[in-house]
A and B are shown apart, each in its own frame.
Chain A
Amino acid sequence: MIAASHSIDDRMNKLEKGLMIGRGRWIADFNESFRKFRIRDVEFDAFIQGNTRTRGFLLSRLFSVMLNPNYSVGCFLISTESVKHFDRKFLSKAISEIQSYMKDNEMKWSWLFIFAPKGTGEIRKHVESISDQSIGVVLVDADSGNMVHSNSYLGRQAKKYVKI
């Protein structure tokens, strides 16, 4: 259990670091990260916010300003081990809290990365069945790093561009 917990922390730190130094720049420019981020009753391990207007140098910056819309976006991270009972009900609640936060803060889309040790069949099925197009949900196996994504464009993009 301790080894898995370390592995989850390491993977979470790696993902956060990757996004903060610009690994997700093809999708968005993530520039601010909060730990222990609470939305009402749900505490996420991390929340990284950004926007779709990517940075760059001269020409790429000019193109970005002229062509890219400046949407606010976010990435939420949560570990199944930091929650007492992480089940379908909790996941639905977390998603609805994210939706309300997005609405309040005029965010266009979000990612939700769930880090779990092996043996999360029920959650896996639930993640695969999520079809909300404004939230990309990804379940990460903390041991192997394998990812399962929700049935949305954002879910597929998360798997494609984010390396854990």
Chain B
Amino acid sequence: MSGAHIFSPIQIYSLFKSCAIIFVVQALIVLFSPIPLVDPWRFLLLAINVIISVILGWRFYRYRYHMIFTYDKGGFTLKKGEGKAIEHKWNDFTKVSLFRSEYGELSVRLYRDSEFFDLPVSKVKMNPFDFRFEVMQLVSSFKGKN
């Protein structure tokens, strides 16, 4: 993509969730293992657990949740974690709306007949209200050409 805009901010909530998952898994392993939880071991174990949670949590976040959104005049690419990137052209769509999920996250919804695709713009720290207008222009710019 030439002249592309790239958005890939760290999503604090997802990062915290990843670290918390690793922390809980380690805590359960410690609880059900025969390691004696007495001083000074328990504080040392807790410190090790926290450090490992941060390191593995970061890796897990990058693997599972981190989003990279790239767009230009022709289309966009959305990649979540190590999953396959989703690519679309703006002219694949005919209608644009702004949608709020039940968790309060705003996304730009792109319609193609009765199907739709959500661009999670608030997750990539973009202004959904302004970006919606930009997408409307990009989508409508192809209408006359088809």
CB of A81 within 8 Å of the partner chain:
no
Encode contact with B along A18-32: 1 for CB under 8 Å, 0 otherwise: 001110000000011
How far in angstroms is the closest Cβ of chain A from B72? Answer: 22
How far in angstroms is the closest Cβ of chain A from B37? Answer: 33
Q: Which residues of A contact B (CB under 8 A)?
A: 13, 16-17, 20-22, 31-36, 55
CB–CB A34/B129 < 8 A? no
Q: Which of B17-25, B46-54, B84-92, B97-105 lies at the interface?
A: B97-105
CB–CB A13/B129 < 8 A? yes
A–B complex contacts, Cβ < 8 Å, 18 sampled:
A16-B129, A20-B100, A20-B106, A21-B104, A22-B104, A31-B99, A31-B100, A32-B98, A32-B100, A33-B98, A33-B99, A34-B96, A34-B97, A35-B132, A35-B133, A35-B136, A36-B136, A55-B102
CB of B123 within 8 Å of the partner chain:
no
User: Which of A16, A21, A32, A33 is the most central at the interface, judged by chain B CB atoms within 10 Å of its CB?
Assistant: A33
Give the residues in chain B near A33, CB-CB below 8 Å.
Answer: 97-99
Chain A residue nearest in CB terms to B98: A33
Give the residues in chain B near A36, CB-CB below 8 Å.
Answer: 136
CB–CB B129/A17 < 8 A? yes
CB–CB B98/A20 < 8 A? yes
B-side interface size class = 10 to 19
CA distance A104 to B80 in the complex (A): 38
Summed over the interface, the residue pairs from A and B with CB atoms below 8 Å come to a total of 29
CA distance A55 to B100 in the complex (A): 11
Chain B residue nearest in CB terms to A49: B97
Chain A residue nearest in CB terms to B99: A32
How far in angstroms is the closest Cβ of chain A from B97? Answer: 5
CA distance A35 to B99 in the complex (A): 12
CB of B95 within 8 Å of the partner chain:
yes
Give the residues in chain B near A21, CB-CB below 8 Å.
Answer: 100, 104
Chain A residue nearest in CB terms to B102: A55
CA distance A35 to B131 in the complex (A): 13
CB–CB B109/A32 < 8 A? yes
User: Which of B96, B97, B99, B109 is the most central at the interface, judged by chain A CB atoms within 10 Å of its CB?
Assistant: B97
Considering the complex of A and B, which 6 residue pairs feature the smallest CB-CB distances, nearest first?
A33-B98, A31-B100, A34-B97, A32-B99, A55-B102, A32-B97
Give the residues in chain B near A20, CB-CB below 8 Å.
Answer: 98, 100, 106
Chain A residue nearest in CB terms to B136: A35
How far in angstroms is the closest Cβ of chain A from B140? Answer: 9
CA distance A36 to B109 in the complex (A): 15
Q: 17 more A-B contacts (CB under 8 A) besides A21-B100, A33-B98, A35-B136?
A: A16-B129, A17-B129, A20-B100, A21-B104, A22-B104, A31-B99, A32-B98, A32-B99, A32-B109, A33-B97, A33-B99, A34-B95, A34-B96, A34-B97, A35-B96, A36-B136, A55-B102
